[in-house]
Structures are given as C-alpha cells and as structure tokens.
Amino acid sequence: MTPDKKTALLERIAAYPRQDLIHRPTPMRKLERMTAELGGPEIWIKRDDLTGMAFGGNKSRKLEFIMPDVLAKKADVLVTWASLQSNWAMQTAAACVRYGVQPVLVLFKTYDLPPEPDGNILLDRLLGAEIRFKEAGKGKLVTQAGALAAVEEVAAEYRAAGKNVYVIPVGGSVPAADMDRPLGAVAYVAAFAEMLEQTRAAGFTPDAVVHSTGSGSTQAGLLLGARVLSPATRVVGISVSDSKDAFTEIVREVVEATERELGTDPVKAPKDILVFDEYIRDGYGIVNKEVADIIRRVFRAEGIVLDPVYTSKAFIGLVDLIARGYFKRGERVVFFHTGGTPALFPNRAFLV
C-alpha cells in the first residue's frame, strides 16, 4: 500500500467516534532478562494490561470504539456473553456503568471453577452487573449460535420490560447482533499503529508480534495493521481455545469484514493468518503446572504478571517457538500482554 493509502487508513480510523476509556499509548519495553534467558530474539512487551480501566486489558481498547455505537443507538441495557472469569465481561460492565447503561452478563461455565464472588466475578458484582450463569461443556464448547440464542432469551426479558437492549458478541469480535461492524478489530488496527510508532522511536521495526487469540478481533486488527503499515511483520496468534483451522476461519471472517469497513485492499489468499493451537494443552481455562511455572518465571524475572487463561498460554508458545528456532537470534518480537490478571485469584489453588 502506498504512503497515501497508509495515511488515508490512519485518518479514517482517527475519524471514528471514540470514548476516552484508556491511557494511550500503553507502555512498551524490552524484557531484558527473558531475552537473555531464552537466548533468541529480543523480546519486547506491549502492556495492554495497563490500559487503565478496571484492571486493564485489550478489551478496553475495543470498548472505546464500541461504546459510541451503544450510546448512538440509545441503549439502556447491554447484554453480552463470555466464560465464567471473563475479562471481556468485566471490562464491558465497567464501560457500561460509566455511561449509565445496565450491564447484563451471560457467563458460561466452561471450566471447573465455582461461580463464587472472586476474581472477575467479584468485580462484576461490585460493578452492579446482572449475571446469569449458564452450563457449558468443557473446552469453551459454546458456539456463537448457541450463545446468541441464550443471550437473546435474556435480552427479550428486558425488551418486554420496555428497555432498549444492545446485544454484543463475546470479545466484541465477530460482527453480530447489534454490533454490526467489526469495531473491536478496528481498535486493534489502531493499536498496531500505536505499537509501530513506539518501536520505530526505539529504532526498529518488529519482525513479529505474538499474542493470545481467543475471539478473533485482536488478531484480525493486528494482522490488518501489519498488512497495511508493516508487511514484513508477522502476526502470530497463540490459540487458547479453538483449533488452528477453526480459528483461522474466524480471523479470516473478521479480517474481511474489517477490510470492507476500512476500505483497504482485500487479500485473496490469507496465508499470513498464523495460529498455533499446540499450547491449548488440557483445554481452555485449565491451569496446570506449565501455566503456573511460566507465570512464576516471568513474574520473578521481569516483575510482570501474566494471566492464567490467555497470556500465560501465549508466553508458553513464545518460549517454545524460540526453542524450536521459529524466531531467530537477532529478530525483534513484540509480545502483546492482553490483560486478564484478575483471573489469577480464583485459580490460586493451582498456582502455588
């Protein structure tokens, strides 16, 4: 893409209505000790766990673009769904109460934790969110169609009571229900541009970006940002739930919707959708010794806390990919920390 088209893309994103929910830019620094320990590429970290709203996380970026749509449609109730200890659900509730919108959270029990007021559920309760717990199979076995059906039942109750309801998909990712545009992915095109400005100020263009991938829009936004602004940068998603094939299709769907939304040139053969599913291990949200060990290792080396569901799996993947030679000595890799740390506390028994 020509410089003029790059400028046009950034100007189009800048023109979007945006609620001021986060601190921008989020910090970025080199992980000196982990780089030395692993003996491969330089590892940098983008601290999207420090976005600033309710313990932070990547979902806050998305909500900056989503909440204007909620408010423009004059919603007084927002209904969304997620897993039990969802950072998305909690961040959404925090954004809602800031603007006087009632948050209603449909939380699926996708792993063996009780629905006690701990971690994100404690924060949901403190925010005054209405919570509906639903059963689900292990391994995040909740299809979008099944989740939407359950959510629409809840939304119908509020509509019957005269409320104007906005239904939003998990993670603010795949356009569906009342969020009919890929606003979450647009937010992460902007995040890629923010990161690129920081890396270039530090004297380099990243060879790769690594992140945990869970609902699709973070990877889709970063990928589209890379395609347009830094085509040599690989975007590597570490799946925490779904198979490589399934997730590649989700990301492709969101990328194509975002290309249409932003008017970028479509990519017909999306071979650059890179997803690794080897690190799901025991399943979505299952905290095992490997997860506990990487959280401990990074905290003791760098003073940075990973979460037990997303970023720990992604960092396990990063370490293994370095060991396998996927990332080379002398390359520079940026790890996006997407937040979720409140989920540490209900998992305490598995971490110590």
pLDDT above 70 for 263:
yes
At residue 142, does pLDDT exceed 80? Answer: no
Domain boundaries along the sequence of the chain:
3-57+183-351, 68-172
Q: Is the peptide bond before 3 cis (omega within 30 degrees of 0)?
A: no
Distance CA 61, CA 19 (A): 10
- The torsion angle over the Cα atoms of residues 3, 219, 192 and 25, rounded to 10 degrees, is 160
Q: Average pLDDT of 3-15?
A: 89
Domains 3-57+183-351 and 68-172 share a fold: yes
Query: How many CA atoms does the CB half-sphere of 165 hold within 13 Å?
Result: 20
Record: fold of 3-57+183-351: Rossmann fold (3.40.50)
Residue from 165, 149, 285, 159 nearest 214 by CA: 285
- How many residues comprise the chain? 352
Q: Which one of the listed residues 86, 173, 230, 241 is annotated catalytic? A: 86
Mark residue 275 as left, alpha or beta (left: phi above 0; alpha: psi -120 to 50; beta: remaining).
beta
Instruction: Say if CB 220 and CB 188 are below 8 A apart.
Output: yes
If you average pLDDT over residues 11-29, what whole number do you get? 96
Query: pLDDT tens, 102-135?
Result: 999 999 988 778 889 999 999 999 999 999 999 8
Report the top-level CATH class of 68-172. alpha beta
Residue at 118: amino acid letter: D
Indicate whether 1 pLDDT > 60.
no
pLDDT at site 137: 59
* Average pLDDT rounded to a whole number, residues 246-261: 94
Mean pLDDT value of segment 204-220:
96
pLDDT tens digits, 29-61:
999 999 999 999 999 999 999 999 999 999 999
**Could you confirm whether 86 is annotated as catalytic?**
yes
